[in-house]
Amino acid sequence: MGEGTGGEVTETSHIRKSREQVVIRPNENLDPCAFVLFGATGDLTRRKIVPALYSLHCSGLLPDPFVVVAFARRDKDDSAFRADMKQAITEFAPQLSTEGAEWESFSARLYYHRSNLDDSEGYKNLGIRLAELDQEHKLGGNRLFYLATPPDNFSEIVHHLGEAGLNLTGDHKGWSRLIIEKPFGYDLETAKALNQELASVFKEDQVYRIDHYLGKETVQNILVLRFANQIFEPIWNKNYIDNIQITVAETLGMEGRGNYFEKSGITRDIVQNHALQVLTLIAMEPPVSLDADSVRDEKVKVLKAIRRFELDDVARYTVRGQYGHGDKDDLVGYRVEEGVAADSQTETFAAFQFSIENWRWAGVPFYVQAGKRMPKRVTEVQIQFKAIPEVLFARLGSGSLKPNRLTIRIQPDEGASMEIISKEPGPQMNIQPVRMDFKYGSAFDTPIRDAYERLILDAVRGDASLFARNDEVEEAWSIITPILNSWHNLTCPLFPNYAAGTWGPEAAQKLLTGGRGWNFPC
């Protein structure tokens, strides 16, 4: 929290025990299916996807029957792929045992299909193998395709799936769904083109655009915090809130991703998707229900209401930064990272002031900052309420009062805290902020699952609430693309303009006006 936090009030155990819990029951009427994984030998598969599938299997949350079919070009067979995935889980999910009946049961569900992504025969043979597995395992013809490949391969894979009839949009028995990883395009034009290509093969309700941030418990809890607690909704507006700050900070540099990041930058990599997704949940109106389209309808309305930037707005309401060498030997500058040009103009930090032009939020600035090589890895939202009149306490000589502040911590240390003003014990009227804190890790007995577990399970269930819709993606790009284009027409800052391990360039501090400042996480 910010400076001046004096105390901490935590939730007592008897309150925790009295809380009603809603849990997902194992195998709750889930359809059996084949999980077809493209990019099966890649890093994302090893680090996230297969460990998530195995964790769900160990918890009894996957449908039964359920099989995984890896589609990749390397010369392997079923047994080699199973051995590779065992090693991956040992390395990246060591809390999950790869010995005993659970692993034997899971590994027996793993299959490998060798083919190049551009080989149309490989997709026809995939269809044959899926039909065989349908017969062997009674899968009902249901297929869930996961595109864990570089975005350059998306169109190619989708085209071949359609050509081989694997999209199942006709009268075929069973269902077919497609999970596609970000980035969803490079700008508005390419996002529209990708959506059109997807629509030519799959119906929109078959497409699940995954953003792992939406699978995080604290992001999901934003809706519950706002709409299930009567104390918040009446004051969740311009009359009581002064400003809202969203911070997405990472301590890491490129870690071998320099080639990708050079083409992306922090704005495409983080702001266009993660940060704007969080912003929409904070700012949206109550949906009529919690079904997928009702929630996404309200999110799209927020994106439509965000004021688009002209060239002068970009110069005034955005800040770019790029990190240089820090005060430690391992904090090297961006331009010497592997895969980065020596004269790179790619931003590793960006800050924005957005305005939502609707009745609820008119006049409330939404500040968003995202950066690499920050002092702390943290994603959080800070809702700063307006200050009270100082008349009463000024007469008592208590000095300036800090406004109340609600902080939603998305990662790490998931939870939420509220700063209120309290009197210190003693004969004098001394007051200071104290913090009422809620932490997921200690408030619930249920462990926090990885975001990929929740999102994969929802795709199996056919629940698209936590996935981006085509119009949502395009609206987000319609906000960001003019900014990116304007940066090309404006003089670039003299990079690097902040040291690795600091909170970004000094210009970002000037973005906030009216006596406001960034509330940096300690």
Distance from the first to the final alpha carbon of the chain = 6
What is the 3-state composition of the chain as percent helix, strand, coil, each rounded to the nearest 5?
40, 20, 40
C-alpha span between 176 and 417 (Å, rounded) = 42
> Directed axis angle between helix 50-58 and helix 78-92, to 10°?
80
Longest dimension (CA), the chain: 84
Residues recorded for the chain: 522
The torsion region of residue 115 among left (phi > 0), alpha (psi -120 to 50) and beta comes to: beta
Residues 26, 59 contacting (CB under 8 angstroms): yes
Catalytic-labelled residue, pool 57, 113, 212, 274: 274
Spatial separation of the C-alpha atoms in residues 124 and 249, rounded to whole Å: 44
Output the CA angle 241-245-250, nearest 5 degrees: 160
Q: Distance between CA 136 and CA 134 in Å, rounded?
A: 6
Amino acid at 85: M
Which parts of 328-423 fold into alpha helices (H)?
391-395
Nearest of 44, 28, 47 to residue 92 by alpha carbon: 47
Active-site annotation holds for 274: yes
- Name residues whose C-beta falls within 8 Å of residue 298's C-beta, 6 or more positions apart in sequence: 280, 284, 285, 286, 287
Give residues with Cβ within 8 angstroms of 182, minimum separation 6. Answer: 209, 210, 211, 273
Q: What Rg value do the Cα atoms of the chain yield, rounded?
A: 25
User: In 360-445, which ranges are continuous DSSP H helix?
Assistant: 391-395, 440-443
Say if residues 417 and 438 touch (Cβ distance below 8 Å). yes
279 in Cβ contact with 246 (< 8 Å): yes
Report the run of H or E that residue 177 belongs to, with start and end. strand 176-181
Catalytic residue IDs: 274
